[in-house]
Structure 1
């Protein structure tokens, strides 16, 4: 695990963009495509500001979602809808490059359909993402994996439905740990004093929280600003 402390949100965005550019170009050079998983929440803002600055072959990108809300694409709760409005127009990405959930169906059907789409995109039932861009909620959740929820222990499904999310909207689909922890790279990007206590609980205290369980076979990066890192010891960085 590499923890990168920067001054403020602007530096978090800059550092996140820099890492994404390097990982994308390495993946394209080695394997011809770049498979990336996007998240919602504050990560959307960071990416919609940072990604348009990248020097990369956008045509080689395949974009999926670490989790998604089972809502219409034009809903403000739709993660894809947000990227469609705020990222695609700023880049040469095309809507067809995004792997999205099926519309107008249950969470169970959406998860099953999304699994099939990912299998087709990867050409395999093993989804090894080059990069997952993860957020962390104030309760320590990541993706739609919440503290104390049975999905924390899911090992057979690669994509799982959730119908009782403690954070609205209740119906979602989410990647599970077998996929998350097979990724080549995972990056958390965290800002703000409101996240400082949870950052300490995860990175220093190693409490058993959903974000703590992200331990990919590849590389794990935490990019945190000084406010979010306020409760960490200065000699902790590694």
Structure 2
């Protein structure tokens, strides 16, 4: 698994600034290379961590950012389960990102049509790619090993053709969602998992130490050509026996 780096921090407080540094460094690199920075976001605890850290960087220019969502719940944007809604209130409303720079789902559509509509939006902004090639995807992992809305033992794990897939039987509520598929995730130039807390320790050990033999969806994230980072805190890393890098809040990635 060449290129994977497992970075362990004393706590999420030290992890946060390094996450922000990773985002900003990849943004600078992408904008200088091809004029824009494409970022895929996940929800959960990442929303508040990322929003806090990016807002602390008051000089950051978001005008050339294009933000999509690795998965999204099919709820209205004012619902507390809406990932976009959370980012809008905690981050987007406070920065200079243009409205055209945020790719949202159409939550008024039935779930199958919503996935097709979001696929169309992604194809419009990635017209030259069979699967969209994001500069950076930020992923989380649940205690069951799921990532995006790709859950253990679900048929969507084997999806190889769709860019965005609908799911109407999510084992974690709300049941209706749309999600990027593994071909999209593994096409990214850089993927970073953020995993914190002791509840993640048993599954994190299996995902990182068993590799492709692991039954957990997160273990299937192996970028074809891109970088792969795992940013984890000490409680999440408690069971690991593999070699890791232990870093502080001033680390540069």
Aligned equivalent of 2:239: 231
Q: For residues 76-155 of structure 1, what are the structure 2 equivalents within 5 Å?
A: 76-124=80-128, 125-155=130-160
Listed one character per residue, the Cα deviations across residues 120-165 of structure 1 (whole Å, up to 9, x for unaligned) are: 1122343000000000001000000000000000001111000000
Aligned CA-pair RMSD: 1.3
Determine if the alignment matches structure 1 residue 197 to structure 2 residue 202.
Answer: yes
Aligned equivalent of 1:213: 220
Aligned counterpart for 2:28 among listed residues 25, 32, 36:
25
Supply the distance in 1 between the matched residues of 2:150 and 2:87 (Cα, whole angstroms). Answer: 21
Moved beyond 6 Å, runs of 4+: none
Q: For residues 145-184 of structure 1, what are the structure 2 equivalents within 5 Å?
A: 145-184=150-189
Supply the distance in 1 between the matched residues of 2:163 and 2:107 (Cα, whole angstroms). Answer: 20
Decide whether the 8 Å contact of 1:146 with 1:210 is kept in 2.
Answer: yes
Supply the distance in 2 between the matched residues of 1:32 and 1:126 (Cα, whole angstroms). Answer: 19
Supply the distance in 1 between the matched residues of 2:199 and 2:15 (Cα, whole angstroms). Answer: 16
Listed one character per residue, the Cα deviations across residues 78-129 of structure 1 (whole Å, up to 9, x for unaligned) are: 1001101110133222333110001311110000000111111122343000
Decide whether the 8 Å contact of 2:61 with 2:96 is kept in 1.
Answer: no
Q: Which has the higher helix share?
A: 1
Decide whether the 8 Å contact of 1:72 with 1:103 is kept in 2.
Answer: yes
- Deviation, 1:20, is 0.6
Structure 2 unaligned blocks of 5 or more: 246-253
Aligned counterpart for 1:73 among listed residues 63, 70, 77:
77
Decide whether the 8 Å contact of 2:135 with 2:188 is kept in 1.
Answer: yes
Supply the distance in 1 between the matched residues of 2:215 and 2:24 (Cα, whole angstroms). Answer: 31
- Deviation, 1:66, is 0.1
Aligned equivalent of 1:6: 9
- Deviation, 1:204, is 1.7
The SS at the match of 1:161 is strand
Supply the distance in 1 between the matched residues of 2:60 and 2:223 (Cα, whole angstroms). Answer: 24
Q: How many residues align?
A: 237
